[in-house]
Structure 1
Amino acid sequence: MEGSWFHRKRFPFYLILCLLLQGRGVTFTINCSGFGWHGADPTALNSVFERRAFRPVTNVSVPTRVNISFTMSAILDVDERLHLFSSFLWLEMVWDNPFISWNPEECEGITKMSMAARNLWLPDIFIIEFMDVDKTPKDLTAYVSNEGRIRYKKPMKVASICNLDIFYFPFDEQNCTLTFSSFLYTVDNMLLGMEKEVWEITDTSQDILQAHGEWELLGINKATAKMSVGANLYDQIAFHVAIRRRPRLYVINLLVPSGFLLAIDALSFYLPVESGNRVPFKITLLLGYNVFLLMMNDLLPTSGTPLISVYFALCLSLMVASLLETIFITHLLHVATTQPPPLPQWLHSLLLSCTSPGRCCPIAPQKRNEGLGLTPTHLPGAKEPEVLAEQRPGPREAELTGCSEWTRAQREHEAQRQHLVELWVQFSHTVDALLFRLYLLFMASSILAIIGLWNT
């Protein structure tokens, strides 16, 4: 009773083994008597079609070698938010089926024929980084040679996970990996190889991709490794696909308009502050720049902080700083022309160091004549005390002398006030010139950085 139970349990195994070993010791040559002008006889391949559920080998201990290659015909999308790399591939797989063989001389000279792929055993090759459902059509055709070499091609829309680095957007380069492996057969049953060399795959893909698309293919490199899952070891081939974004669209739509607005804001420094037209002009430019950023927001990546966002933030900060500086200078000139305060000593020293050596900046007055270093005896028209003692004026002369001294003091006070105004105006123009030079430095460094990133 136990023996019959054992045989019943082992019967499926023996059945599969018999199907696999069916025909061992024979030639497996297909009879071509049904071949003719109307094609191949379907019944001649029935023995092959019956084995499609099993790996086609005459010895189960020998692994099947599957050679793979692909052609990347399109880069559909690179999603920076989801870190997905979408591409369209033509995957080609080549392997040998020892149960298929015929003599071309006996078969009307036929060396290759096509047949439905559903009637053949197909290797379960998949892409590890694949993040979508495989939508490959089912009714595909495979080509079979008279020596049993099967060549199977299928189109694949691949959405694979890829670690994207968008810091240098739109001058970024990405390196995505496509790893081909089997999810069922270990290295004892299946080994992977290359049908074409890597440079052939790269050249063919570049010839198709070079004419269109936002991305260009830089190169493809191969890495062969084994993947261990528990106690099982799977063969795999990884292809590192290097791509680069074509930045022309973003340079024309983002960087050039931003540079123009910044240049116009820099040229607004030539407007005189005293006219009062600079502040409204800068406010209008600032509003226009904000509208530009809102309109171009859809072209920027939604995740991470790319370098172009830092550039836009610096441009906006410079425009805001120039507006605040204009407001400050306008207020300063208004105060200086109405009631000018004394210029601090540290500010006067700073003003002397910022101005050119050929220009002479006198010391700012502090209290009437003290700041100028003038004493009453050194004022214009003043004489020594001895001379004054010898020439004592009369009452009429004393009255005239008092009026002239008052007029002279009034004139001196007005001169000191005018001198203070000139110092504050000079300080305002110096601050204006420093910010203008900062604008020019930022614009020059930005242009050089863009040229450098574009060329590299």
Structure 2
Amino acid sequence: MDSGWPLLRGHLLCLMISLLVQGRGDTFMINCSGFDRHGVDPAAFQAVFARKAFRPILNSSSPTHVNVSFTLSAILEVNAQLQLLTSFLWMDLIWDNPFINWNPEECFGIDTLTISAELLWLPDIFIVESMDINQTPPHLTAYVSSAGRIKYDKPMRVTSICNLDIFYFPFDQQNCTLTFSSFLYTVESLLLGMEKEVWEITDTSRDIIQTQGEWELVGINKATPKMSVGSNLYDQIMFYVAIRRRPSLYVINLLVPSSFLVAIDALSFYLPAESGNRAPFKITLLLGYNVFLIMMNDLLPASGTPLISVYFALCLSLMVLSLLETVFITYLLHLATTEPPPMPEWFHSLLLLCTCPGKRCPTAPHKEQKGLALTPTHLPGLKEPVELVGKMPRCGQAEQKESARTLQKPETQKQHLIDQWVQFSHMMDTLLFRLYLLFLVSSILTVIVLWTT
């Protein structure tokens, strides 16, 4: 009797262990008695709901795998001054709960249920770049399959940090990041994966995106770096969202009017400088351009120095230079018509070089007057003095002609000097206009090349 007691005690212990293991295993299978054609009795999931505060695992050393995905449905705002991107997206989370399991064939063919997300364990996935409170609507539901797979879709309005480069505004493209990670669970407890490929996320976002405003989606890429905080290592998935600005609004409202005003300023050089209408026209044009910049200032970025601001400053500088050139030419013409000073030798040489290229023009026009002192015998084509004696004028007539010639000589020289200064002024006007056009074209081409690259 004493020898049989240990054997009986061993059989009882094995029976109790088998019953406990069997009983624990039965708790993983949800009883279909709570299912009927009119719904599900919440008591059938009461054991699952009671464990929502704990991570659903069978082995504490095994991590929970959570698949992360999202769909970008709207680009609401890009704040260049605060360096913020505001977007609306749907975050999709999928994971397995081993404590949820039922047989659809025994449970009236029910394969999927929608359960309030507040009754289930949810992974604490957040966006690292988010700078606003969570604006997720309350009372969301999750899809639960008979195999224990949970799918949780979470709509979010996200305001995230984005390093914006506005130098190429309005032809700029921005690359913003959305990093999904966990607050509490390290890589030993939670690992992130992807249910969809990146190209599927990109195509779906392009198809359902709601806004057709200033920004458009270019593409989405991903990376899977680990985030180290002290001695803890966290898993994360980083998505690179590339967005591009639609420039048509700014081209029509900024670049086209500015180009028209600069073109009109260049064409104003064809107004005659002597008329005195060129300078007032350029002043009016310059004032109009300043009013245009003040009115269009709201369309420009509030921070930084974009290339378009450099372009506007360049156009304004060119208009100021053209006004200064007109003032200079007007001064030369006024000087030429009132009291023209003697023209310097290098002025006269430059004038002859521009007006008589390739010819040897005389460098001193006043020397032509010395031909008046030559005797008739030195003038070619004239007869001998003997033959002209009878034809020589009388003494009274010769004296009158000589006095008239003496009076006309200073007037002729002054008129000749005025003509030279006027011709020099026109030459300088043409030269400065060509330099203006050269600088204008080269500057605009440089800005266009920078924009296109």
Q: What TM-score do you get using the length of structure 1 for normalisation?
A: 0.84
Call closer, same or farther: CA 1:345–1:43 in 2, change over 3 Å. farther
SS in 2 for 1:88: strand
Query: Does 2:371 correspond to 1:378?
Result: yes
Q: How many Å separate the matches in 2 of 1:441 and 1:355?
A: 22
Residue 427, structure 1, aligned to residue 420, structure 2 = no
Partner secondary structure for residue 374 of structure 1: helix
> Mapping of 1:1-400 within 5 angstroms?
25-26=25-26, 28-209=28-209, 212-351=212-351, 357=357, 371-372=364-365, 374=367, 377-379=370-372
Return the offset for 1:405. Answer: 4.4
Instruction: Indicate if the aligned counterparts of 2:113 and 2:143 stay in contact, CA closer than 8 A.
Output: yes
Contact 2:75 2:211 in 1 (8 A): no
| CA shift for structure 1 position 141 | 0.8
Distance 1:265 1:245 in 2: 31
Shift of 1:264: 1.5
Alignment partner of 1:431: what SS?
helix
Deviating more after overlay: 436-445 vs 85-94: 436-445
Secondary structure class of the residue paired with 2:94:
strand
Q: Is the Cα–Cα contact under 8 Å of residues 178 and 240 in structure 2 kept in the other structure?
A: yes
Partner of residue 405, structure 2: 408
Measured against aligned partners, the alpha-carbon deviations of 1:45-95 in whole angstroms (never above 9, x if no partner) come to 011111111111111111111111111111111111111111111110111
Give distance in 2, aligned partners of 1:171 and 1:318: 24
Task: Report sequence identity in percent.
Answer: 68
CA distance in 2, matches of 1:402, 1:66: 121
Contact 2:322 2:436 in 1 (8 A): no
CA distance 1:181–1:372, change in 2 (3 Å):
same
Q: How far did residue 307 of structure 1 move? A: 0.8
**Compared CA separation, residues 410 and 302, structure 1 to 2 (3 A):** farther
Q: Is the 8 A contact 2:76 2:211 kept in 1?
A: no
Equivalent pair of 1:32/1:102 in contact (CA under 8 Å): yes
Distance 2:308 2:211 in 1: 27
Summarize the Cα distance change of 1:435–1:121 in structure 2 as closer, same or farther, 3 Å threshold: farther
Aligned to 1:302, what secondary structure does the other structure show?
A: coil
Is contact 1:81-1:302 (8 Å) kept?
yes
Could you tell me which amino acid in structure 1 is paired with residue 417 of structure 2?
L
**Cα shift readout 1:244-274 (whole Å, capped 9, x = no counterpart):** 1000000000011111111222221121111
Task: Name the SS of the counterpart of 1:105 in structure 2.
Answer: coil
| Structure 1 counterpart of 2:36, one-letter code | G
Structure 1 residues 188 and 321, CA gap change in structure 2 (3 angstroms): same
Taking the aligned partners of 1:191 and 1:175, their CA distance within structure 2 comes to 26
Q: Distance in 1 between matches of 2:274 and 2:286?
A: 21
Secondary structure of 1:379's aligned partner: helix
Counterpart code for 1:97: N
**CA separation of 1:352/1:378 partners in 2, compared to 1, >3 Å: closer, same or farther?**
closer
Whether the 8 Å CA contact 2:114–2:144 is kept in 1: the answer is yes
RMSD in angstroms over aligned alpha carbons? 3.0
CA distance in 2, matches of 1:147, 1:92: 19
Task: State the Cα distance separating 1:424 from its structure 2 match.
Answer: 2.3
Deviates more, 1:423-432 or 1:236-245: 423-432
Instruction: Work out whether residues 171 and 453 of structure 1, in 8 Å CA contact, stay in contact via their aligned partners in 2.
Output: no
Q: 1:278 to 1:40 in 2, by over 3 A?
A: same
Cα 1:346–1:150 shift into 2, 3 Å: farther
Between 163-172 and 400-409, the greater mean CA deviation after superposition = 400-409
Matched-pair contact (CA < 8 Å) for 1:75–1:87: yes
CA distance in 2, matches of 1:307, 1:336: 43
Larger radius of gyration: 2
Contact 1:377/1:384, CA 8 A, preserved across alignment: no
Deviations 1:186-245 (A, max 9, x none): 111111111110011111112233871211111111111001000000111111111110
SS of equivalent to 1:102: coil
Deviation at 1:397, TM superposition (A): 6.9
Structure 2 Cα separation of the partners of residues 218 and 454 of structure 1: 18
Say if 1:286 and 1:27 are closer, same or farther in 2 by CA, change over 3 A.
same
Q: Residue 100 of structure 2 aligns to a residue in which SS?
A: coil
Question: What does residue 8 of structure 2 align with?
Answer: none
Query: Retained in 1: the 8 A contact 2:168–2:451?
Result: no
Q: Offset at 1:448?
A: 5.3
Count of residues paired in the alignment: 423
User: How far apart are residue 420 of structure 1 and its match?
Assistant: 2.7
Instruction: Report the TM-score, using the length of structure 2 for normalisation.
Output: 0.85
Q: Which runs of 5+ in 1 are unaligned?
A: 1-20, 365-370
Cα 1:195–1:381 shift into 2, 3 Å: same
Tell me, in whole angstroms, the C-alpha distance in 2 between the residues paired with 1:178 and 1:434.
57
State the one-letter code of the partner of 2:290: N
